[in-house]
Amino acid sequence: MLVSLKFNNAYIFSQETSFSLKADMRNKRLSSNVIETSVDSVLKSACIYGSNNSGKTCLVRIIRALWSVILSQPGDVTPNLFSNNSVVSISCVFIQDEKEWEYSFSLDTKTMEFIFERFARIDYDQYRNSKEIVYFERDFINQKFYTKDASLQPSIHLMGRKNILIHVVDVATLPYLEEARNVLMNFANRIVIVDMNNIPLDNTIMMLKNHDSLQKDIVSFIKNADLDLEDFKYEEKNLPFTLPEQKPSEDVIAMQIKQSFEDTLRLTSVYKGVPLPSLLFDSTGTKKIAALASYVVSALKKGLILVVDELDSSIHFKLTRSIVSMFNNELNDKAQLIFTAHDVSLMDCKKLFRKEQIWFVHKDEDGVYLYSLADFTAKDGVRDTTDIIEKYNRGVLGAIPDPDMIETLLQVKNDK
């Protein structure tokens, strides 16, 4: 589970910025939205709001950058385009195996060298005082090097900078580095990132082919979404339908990116006893729900961290709300959902979210800012019982666009 994320000079964010999923246990409301572990209390979900092109997707990309670095694919890391600084720094705190860990790195994107890296375990005593147990640190700027594996200490400063330490050293005889590798890899492999504007169906197709409990759960999810479907399945043989002559629409093309066209045609929706190819007869929203189903079911079943960009894209607001409620439910004790959205109906602190679960990205001439609704207090007129939607629409919380389309209309009329 992700506890917190810090980053500096990454994508649109030029200054050090923090994103937290740590629950404020002074607030007892909606306690089912919190996973309480032996080391920390963590939120099950978080929603990020903001105007178009403000930086919401950049937060998703930063999580992807962290994921890619741990899995030895650092090509996805991008510095702030408006600075002369090529160094991106990312730090995260997460829970794995009932222990809390912190991992940090700084990557010079010009040379593609890691100039700083640190991994530590965070222990707590009975009074909640924390203590860091450092497993390794490589600081090439300040020439500071340390490893808990004594046999590696004399040579750690000689290890290559082109990758993180767990991928440049044989960990077989290094127990602490081997543990660090296992912890980091397990954490990264639990992160799943989805873009709802380009979500592939291949994950759902693969699971529907397996005929196991996941397949049944996926079909149940799709049917319970109230799509007027009697059944949804993968047919072993193509249905007797031919494609129309015209080019497929853009949403069809997007759905075909990561799977064969033949497999896609075998996805079947059953309406009133009649099996029909989903690709040809279902709406864009229905196809997105079918694609999303496998990710949601897998996350809840396996305890994954599901990160979704624009969860509400082409999906009815009640269904989006239901998906969030699945993660917030007390029956979920290990999965997390982090998503961006525009649907203000989800901004509900009475029944759906705790204040610290709602985040905003605001951009102005001076920079880009990421902050939580919990930063607003009763002194600001924001309480758990406040009409948050009304406050947001009035611009009190920031992170809202101020379009002036009348200017465009006047220009269009005057350009006759």
Q: For position 74, what pLDDT does the model report?
A: 66
In degrees rounded to 5, what are phi and psi of residue 194? -130, 135
CA–CA separation, 397 and 395 (whole Å): 5
Strand order in the sheet with 87-96: 17-20, 2-8, 87-96, 99-108, 113-124, 130-139, 144-147
Q: For position 231, what pLDDT does the model report?
A: 86
Per-residue pLDDT of the chain (416 residues; tens, 9 = 90+): 999 999 999 999 999 999 999 999 888 889 999 999 989 999 999 999 998 888 899 999 999 999 999 999 866 789 998 888 999 999 999 999 899 999 999 999 999 999 999 999 999 888 888 899 999 999 999 999 999 999 999 999 999 999 999 999 999 999 999 999 999 999 999 999 999 998 888 888 888 888 777 888 988 998 888 778 888 888 877 666 554 554 555 555 454 444 467 788 888 888 888 888 888 888 888 889 999 999 999 999 999 999 999 999 988 889 999 999 999 999 999 999 999 999 999 998 889 999 999 999 998 888 899 999 999 887 777 877 778 888 888 888 887 877 777 887 777 878 76
CA–CA separation, 137 and 87 (whole Å): 18
CA–CA separation, 186 and 304 (whole Å): 10
Q: For position 201, what pLDDT does the model report?
A: 85
Q: Which residues have C-beta within 8 Å of that of residue 334, sequence separation ≥ 6?
A: 1, 35, 303
**Cβ-count burial of 155 within 10 angstroms (0-12 exposed, 13-18 middle, 19+ buried)?**
exposed
Q: Which residues have C-beta within 8 Å of that of residue 411, sequence separation ≥ 6?
A: none
Q: For position 41, what pLDDT does the model report?
A: 94
CA–CA separation, 95 and 88 (whole Å): 23
pTM (whole model) above 0.85:
yes
Q: How many helices (H) and strands (E) does the chain have?
A: 11, 18
CA–CA separation, 352 and 374 (whole Å): 15
CA–CA separation, 236 and 20 (whole Å): 45
Q: For position 258, what pLDDT does the model report?
A: 43
Task: For the chain, report the end-to-end CA distance as a whole number of angstroms.
Answer: 58
Structure confidence by residue, pLDDT tens digits, 253-283: 454 444 467 788 888 888 888 888 888 888 8
Q: Could you tell me how many residues make up the chain?
A: 416
Q: For position 330, what pLDDT does the model report?
A: 95
In degrees rounded to 5, what are phi and psi of residue 248? -65, 150
Token pair 């929603």 in the structure block, residue: 47
